[in-house]
Amino acid sequence: MNKNFLEVKNVDFSAGGKIKVKNVSFSIKKEGDIICLLGPSGVGKTTILRTIAGLEKINNGTIELNGKTLSSKKINIEPEDRNISLAFQENSLFPHYSVKKNILLGAERNKEKKNQSIRFEKLVDLLNISKILNKYPHQISAGEAQRASLARSLISLPDLLLLDEPLSNVDQSFKEEIQVSLKKILKKLKITTIIVTHDSYEAFYLGSKCGIIINQELKQFDDPYNVYHLPNSIEVVNFLNRGILIPAEVTGENSLENDDLGTIEGNFIKHYPKGSNVKLLIQPEDLEHDDKSNLKLEVVDRKFRGTNFIYTLRTPSNTLIPVFVHSHHIHQHEVDEKFGIKRPIHIDHIVCF
């Protein structure tokens, strides 16, 4: 049986004597994979990274990297002996060294891996930090410090790279560009990475797997597509905050009935017996607009999101449902107007709880 590259087994992650996340198990199959951990603020995502880095100890479970136990109740390899790099969310650059010197300190580690290393200039270019190389940490912005810190971590070629909200302070205009560069570098250097973020789009783009941590538990660890479309619990749905749950009755192999929307068809992810009362997940992209439809709902709000509008519609039973409409749609609907929903309603994968 092939061993996983990183194996976290039944670990209670704690900080300051308090358990933050309980009984966590997940793995990274092969070297070079990127996974993301998502969750609300303060849930313990950073604690997980700090523990894997060796900055916090564990009393339960084991953490193994490449077949070697790093942490367990009895074993705790010191952080300096793990060859794991953690890029902190806040500025952790050495304050008395220039940005350039800070980054080059990272290059002093793992010199034997020269053949797979990335050139300093290239890295600086990709992360767009060439203008700040001779500045000191107190002279640069938080976003620049984050990118410099990221560069130092990348150039050190660790066995495992841990990134704590790596782009949280980076300007929105830069963010996507850097996300692309980061993914490219990580893939090129084959650096196994765990990224902690609260930005689900960032996680879905960068990670091949995403873990959702809510209420002290790792609720779901799956492909980004599945996490989004096939959430395994109401908590995950609420955290992703992209849909609502409405009451419905299962009427057949591929259909449900809702008092307001009528018949809804699609493929059930999980089988429910006919006649079951369930909560059906409706996501904004599940319903389509159709002016000619006789299913009319009242517009209570309209948000412009660039590529699309999100209409919030009120059903006769007073439920609020979000619906996407392309922003180039021929006309817009004002608040209090009626808004038509295409019938029959077909949802690709029906998620019920």
Select 91 or 293, whichever has its Cβ closest to another protein.
91
- Residue 352's CB is within 10 A of a number of other CB atoms, namely 17
- Residue 346's CB is within 10 A of a number of other CB atoms, namely 16
> Least distance to another protein from the beta carbon of 142, Å?
13
CB 252 within 8 A of CB 274: yes
What token pair was written down for 72?
A: 């367990």
> Least distance to another protein from the beta carbon of 163, Å?
12
Select 157 or 185, whichever has its Cβ closest to another protein.
157
CB 45 within 8 A of CB 196: yes
> Least distance to another protein from the beta carbon of 344, Å?
56
Select 90 or 125, whichever has its Cβ closest to another protein.
90
> Least distance to another protein from the beta carbon of 141, Å?
12
Measured over the CA atoms of residue 284, residue 286, residue 288 and residue 289, the dihedral's sign is: negative
> Least distance to another protein from the beta carbon of 86, Å?
5
Burial 200-235, CB ≥16 within 10 A → b, else e: bebbbbbbebbbbbbeebbbbbbebebbbbbbbeee
Select 50 or 100, whichever has its Cβ closest to another protein.
50
Binding site for another protein (CB under 8 A): 50, 53-55, 78-86, 88, 90-96, 105-106, 108-109, 149, 152, 156, 158
Select 92 or 200, whichever has its Cβ closest to another protein.
92
Nearest Cα neighbor of 221 from 15, 82, 21 is: 21
> Least distance to another protein from the beta carbon of 190, Å?
19
Select 102 or 197, whichever has its Cβ closest to another protein.
102
> Least distance to another protein from the beta carbon of 69, Å?
19
Distance from C-alpha of 211 to C-alpha of 22, rounded to nearest angstrom: 14
> Least distance to another protein from the beta carbon of 175, Å?
22
**DSSP 8-state secondary structure symbol assigned to residue 2:** P
State the maximum Cα–Cα separation within the chain, in Å, rounded to a whole number: 70
- Residue 264's CB is within 10 A of a number of other CB atoms, namely 23
CB 74 within 8 A of CB 23: no
Please report, for the chain, how many H helices and E strands are present, in that order.
8, 19
> Least distance to another protein from the beta carbon of 91, Å?
7
Burial 145-172, CB ≥16 within 10 A → b, else e: bbbbbbbbbbbbbbbbbbbbbbbbbbee
Select 167 or 244, whichever has its Cβ closest to another protein.
167
Tell me the residue type at 214.
Answer: I
Select 75 or 234, whichever has its Cβ closest to another protein.
75
Select 92 or 232, whichever has its Cβ closest to another protein.
92
Do β-strands 68-71 and 62-65 pair in parallel, antiparallel, or remain unpaired?
A: antiparallel
